[in-house]
Amino acid sequence: MNALHNPERWMMIADEDGVVAVGVVATHRQRDSSVHWTFETAVDRSMRFPAFEDKVVSEVLALVPPGAETSGWSRRPSLDASLERFGLSVVRSLSEMAVTLPVESSPTVTEQDFLVRRFNDDDVETLVSINAAAFGDHREAGSLDSEEVESLMLESWFDAEGLLFHEVGGVVAGFCWTKVHDNGEGEIYRIGVDPQFHSAGIGRRIVLAGLEYLATKRGCSTGFLWVDEANAPAMGLYDAIGLTTRSRNREFSPALTTSHGR
């Protein structure tokens, strides 16, 4: 996912009025050192008819090395149909869940009932370690390493104050990484809890801490996140907090794969 933001190969189709389609591919190196290729496309609304969608898919698939494990992401029905014509089928569906901020049903998070601190530069390895424990073999999230963290820290949107750590007895039990978008919406970019603390109710509290930070410190009126719809406990948690699905992003692949969402 998000190949559009970090492409390794790309193609573009234009007519006399300008660019009408873009296709990009990116790689995700797995923990076993294998490589998975993903692709995404963007098509002008006026061009979303079957023949053109098929042309775009054909061109972007040509960017993927022959025989490589690959999958594509779609958020539009016209692309869904095209991918199915190419023999790909849905293997995963991500739900974009959003809520109006502040979350009125949540109690105020204070230092007395929730030990939370901001990220420091020497926390990189701790973040990587907790993320690995939380996401295991997850294709995208599980591959986070110190190099990627340090690269993300250079992004204009990075906010150390908004990368929250929850400690239990001086040990980091989980984190909530927030991001504010150009449109003013606040995203829970990534959340992870060390499995040994799953029964402590940290997930709910750190989500609420992240949403409260976005509302009170960054002035966001909307908070959102992405979650794998196969992750029933997470979907239930976010639903109980008050988030509702406003869009979906579906992964298509020639063969079924197994993955776990946040």
In this prediction, residue 170 carries a pLDDT of 83
Q: Is the pLDDT of residue 182 over 80?
A: yes
Phi-psi region of 242 (alpha: psi -120 to 50; beta: other; left: phi over 0): left
Indicate the pTM of the whole model.
0.83
CA distance linking residue 107 with residue 57, whole number of Å: 48
In this prediction, residue 200 carries a pLDDT of 72
Domain boundaries, the chain: 3-87, 97-248
Asked whether this chain's domains 3-87 and 97-248 adopt the same fold, the reply is yes
Q: Say if residues 61 and 86 touch (Cβ distance below 8 Å).
A: yes
Residues 97-248: name the CATH superfamily. Gcn5-related N-acetyltransferase (GNAT) (3.40.630.30)
In this prediction, residue 28 carries a pLDDT of 78
In this prediction, residue 260 carries a pLDDT of 37
Contacts of 82 (CB under 8 A, 6+ apart): 50, 53, 54, 56, 57
Residue pLDDT, tens place only, 145-170: 899 999 999 999 999 999 999 988 88
Residue pLDDT, tens place only, 62-113: 999 999 999 999 999 999 999 999 999 999 999 999 999 999 754 444 444 4
Residue pLDDT, tens place only, 214-240: 999 999 999 999 999 999 999 999 999
Q: Which CATH number fits domain 3-87: 3.40.50.300, 3.40.50.12160, 3.10.20.740, 3.40.630.30?
A: 3.40.630.30
Q: Say if residues 37 and 25 touch (Cβ distance below 8 Å).
A: yes
CA distance linking residue 167 with residue 130, whole number of Å: 12
